[in-house]
Amino acid sequence: MGSTPETNGVASDLQQDWDAQYGDAAPALEQQGLAVRAPAAALATLADAERVVGDILRLEAAADCLEQQYADVVAKLRRFAGFLRTASEPALRAFAAEQLEGKKAKSLALVTGVGEKPTKIGFRKLPGGLRVVEPEKALAWADETFEEPEHAEFVRVTVKRAPVADRFKAHYADTGEIPPGCEASEDEDKFYIK
């Protein structure tokens, strides 16, 4: 296929677009063994088509490889950050407790931060109460303890029978009784890094 004034104009436009968008990437691609030439407006031979398709496939394969490598690096960074958080939390918790002792504040602002938000360490109050941890035992207790209509307040009948956690919590708050299949907890200060 020969060149015509029309294909020469398209080729010139393609070359300008290529230079504008990807020209600065060419040296880096060449260093990686991924020399890629600007796209042709028209292909004259099978070898030209092979070159273009080869360029496309090499770039896509390189992108896939880099994507996997970076995914592996990101996963390792997250695991290490998790390890560091777990290993450092007791010392950070003790430091924050010492710094906040006798103060009304529940958190300590740190200069260290990533992005625009300041970093804080501190304590958040988690309310205690009652949790249904073994639904079958809790339901058996409600069946034995209450008659209708009060029984209906403890049991929700849907496709599957399940305890109504709010009603169990209210019963615990009113009576202090911990039904079988439930566990009580005290209010707790939960340490956080934000």
Domain, as residue range, for 62: 5-72
Q: Quick check: is 117 in a domain?
A: no
pTM of this prediction exceeds 0.85: no
Domains contained in the chain, number: 2
The more confident residue out of 169 and 40 is: 169
Mean pLDDT in residue range 161-184: 89
Statement: residue 71 has pLDDT above 70: yes
Statement: residue 56 has pLDDT above 50: yes
Q: Quick check: is 121 in a domain?
A: no
Which pLDDT belongs to residue 164? 87
**Residue-wise pLDDT tens digits, 91-125:** 998 999 999 999 888 888 888 767 677 788 899 88
**Residue-wise pLDDT tens digits, 127-160:** 888 888 999 999 889 888 887 767 677 777 666 7
Q: H-type helices in the chain, by residue range?
A: 5-22, 26-31, 46-100, 135-145, 150-154, 165-175
Looking at residue 37, the DSSP 8-state letter turns out to be: P
Share of the chain above pLDDT 70, in %: 74
Which pLDDT belongs to residue 55? 80
Q: Select from 26, 48, 72 the last residue of a domain.
A: 72
Pairing mode of beta strands 182-185, 129-132: antiparallel
Statement: residue 79 has pLDDT above 90: yes
Q: Quick check: is 88 in a domain?
A: no
Q: Quick check: is 116 in a domain?
A: no
Q: Quick check: is 102 in a domain?
A: no
Cα–Cα distance measured from residue 51 to residue 74, given in angstroms and rounded to the nearest whole number: 34
Q: Quick check: is 113 in a domain?
A: no
Which pLDDT belongs to residue 95? 92
Q: Quick check: is 90 in a domain?
A: no
For 87-119, give one letter per residue: b (16+ CB within 10 A) or e: eeeeebbeebeeebeeeeeeebeeeeeeeeeee
Cα–Cα distance measured from residue 82 to residue 101, given in angstroms and rounded to the nearest whole number: 27
